[in-house]
Amino acid sequence: MYDDILLPTDGSDGIAEAASHAGELARQFGATVHVLSVVDTRNRFESPTGGLSDAAWTEAERERAETAIEKTVDALPDGVAIETSIVEGVPKTEILDTVTDEGMDIVVMGTHGRTGLDHYLIGSVAEKVVRRSPVPVVTVRLGDES
């Protein structure tokens, strides 16, 4: 039923919960977990008064993505087949493109469950993926690991 499971990650606290779900599905179906992190190319600080150059923003984002991949892979159970990738772009778009371009069967992703002003200002990548994904999406409420 599921051969390829996409597990997008931004390295948020609580990612172990989503990794646990993805790992359990992978064990049940003999699937591969594809851990994806997106280098967000939308530099919100690229302005004369913003303080971060485009290159500095991209480098910081790449480091965050690499750390997110490591943290998520470490949270997956032993014995699960894993592939990793880092791409650049807008997170929701890159996740959905990976689903279609790479033939994913299901997406397992964390969500913070933001509401109100936080949701309006920050948005929800998970919500956008759920609404537009051509395959099932399992969302896992992320808690704080600290």
**Which CATH number is 101's domain given?**
3.40.50.620
Does residue 85 fall inside a structural domain? Answer: yes
Does residue 88 fall inside a structural domain? Answer: yes
Does residue 68 fall inside a structural domain? Answer: yes
- The pTM score is 0.88
Give me the number of domains the chain comprises: 1
pLDDT at 86 over 70: yes
In angstroms, the CA 98 to CA 108 distance is 13
Q: Is the dihedral of CA 110, 99, 85, 83 positive or negative?
A: positive
Q: What percent of the chain has pLDDT over 70?
A: 82
| pLDDT at res. 115 | 53
Does residue 146 fall inside a structural domain? Answer: no
Does residue 93 fall inside a structural domain? Answer: yes
Does residue 87 fall inside a structural domain? Answer: yes
Give pLDDT tens digits for 49-76. 566 678 888 899 999 999 999 999 999 9
Provide the 8-state DSSP code for 3.
S
Rg of the Cα atoms in the chain = 15
| pLDDT at res. 47 | 54
145: Cα separation from own chain's centroid? 17
Does residue 125 fall inside a structural domain? Answer: yes
In angstroms, the CA 48 to CA 27 distance is 50
116: Cα separation from own chain's centroid? 22
Residue 120: band (very low, low, confident or very high) from pLDDT cuts 50, 70, 90: very low
Does residue 99 fall inside a structural domain? Answer: yes
Residue 42, domain extent: 4-141
pLDDT at 145 over 60: no
97-107 per-residue burial string, b: 16 or more CB within 10 A, e: under 16:
ebbeeeebbbb
